[in-house]
Amino acid sequence: MYHRPERTTPFRRDGVPLRALLLALVVAFVPVAALAASAGQSATQGNTAKVAKGIAVALSPSSRSLDQGQSTTFAVSATSTGGFTGPVTFTVTGLPAGATAAWSPSSVVLGSGTTAQVTLTVATSTTTTVGKFDFTVKGASGAVQSNAAPGQLQVQEVKRTFGVTGSLNGLLAPGVSRSLELQISNPETKSIAVTNLTVAIAQVVRTPAAVAANLPCSSADYQITQYTGTYPFAAPSGPSSLTSLGVPQSNWPQVRMLDTVQLQDGCKGATLQLTFSGTGQAN
């Protein structure tokens, strides 16, 4: 009987092809690599840094504008970080001269992870410096200090409209000075802080005889001394005068007629037309 010779398959081991064996080894390695990557990720998540105990302060709004003599408010919040607990007080630095700060309430007590709010009231006066001012707010609890929360305050000058008139206390003559009583008319319902008064000669009106004779007389023949009293002073609502305000006559404006040969005839009987101006702010 004829026997057909058996063919042998190369690279066999116990009947399993070597190619299948290599594929099985590759598949076996994959879960091991994935497991290593997963283990590394877990280790990273476990190393989160701890947040130090502290206080975070914020200001709202960050800026305010107001007129001299007015008040404004800011909301200040304090938040516990890193598990901080305890009382917190507040301070503000950088406000302009003449401005004051008040806190309501004066302090708060924070629990872990909680937030509390206080109100900062900034008050100005009529003499508070005008301009933009950067300031900072901080919270503190013993040795624990918060961040510095920035803010800005813009103080604006307030001017009020009022009327000024005046009358000389007697007639002028060469070498003679006369005080000038000023009347102030305040249309506001509140008093005005007067910060400046000025008197000037607008025109010198000569007599027809002086004009016909071509005799000169001008503002150069007179001398003005301005008000020398203290500024600011309060002018109440309605009409008032330097006399009613208690200003000594020595502080009133003065008009002096010079004594020269040229003005003896030209300024005789002349009329002075005066102008008055001033500035004032709301009280």
The count of structural domains within the chain is: 2
Same domain, 177 and 115: no
pLDDT given at position 200 = 96
Q: Give pLDDT, residue 209.
A: 94
Most confident of 12-21, 85-94, 126-135, 164-173: 85-94
CATH number at residue 146: 2.60.40.10
pLDDT beyond 90 at 260: no
How far is C-alpha 24 from the geometric centre of its chain's CA atoms? 77
Is residue 124 predicted with pLDDT exceeding 70? yes
Coil, strand or helix at 15? coil
Locate 145 and state its tokens.
Answer: 């200090």
Residue ending a domain, among 132, 156, 180, is 156
Asked, for residue 148, whether it belongs to a domain, the answer is yes
Confidence of residue 17 (pLDDT cuts 50, 70, 90): low
Q: C-alpha distances in angstroms, 72 versus 43, 63, 64? A: 53, 10, 7
Could you tell me if 169 and 275 lie in one domain?
Answer: yes
The answer to which of 76-90, 197-211, 259-273 has the lowest mean pLDDT is 259-273
189 shares a domain with 146: no
200 and 257, same structural domain? yes
**Which of 156, 191, 207 is at the close of a domain?**
156
For residue 283, the number of C-alpha atoms closer than 13 Å in the C-beta half-sphere is 15
Half-sphere exposure of residue 197: CA atoms within 13 angstroms, side-chain side: 31
Whether the predicted pLDDT of 246 surpasses 80: yes
Q: What is the pLDDT of residue 272?
A: 95
pLDDT at 39: 47
Q: Is residue 16 part of a domain?
A: no
For residues 200 and 242, state if they share a domain.
Answer: yes
Which structural domain range is residue 245 located in? Answer: 163-282
The answer to whether residue 115 sits within a structural domain is yes
**Nearest to 118, CA basis, from 55, 54, 70, 65:** 55
Q: Does residue 167 share a domain with residue 145?
A: no
Q: Tell me, yes or no, whether 262 lies in a domain.
A: yes
- Mean pLDDT lowest among 113-122, 124-133, 170-179, 259-268: 259-268
pLDDT (tens digit per residue) in 32-88? 444 444 444 544 454 556 778 999 999 999 999 998 889 999 999 999 999 999 999
Cα–Cα separations (whole angstroms), residue 250 to 164, 189, 247, 270: 19, 30, 8, 25
Q: In the predicted model, is pLDDT for residue 225 greater than 80? A: yes
Q: What is the CATH number of the domain that holds 215?
A: 2.60.40
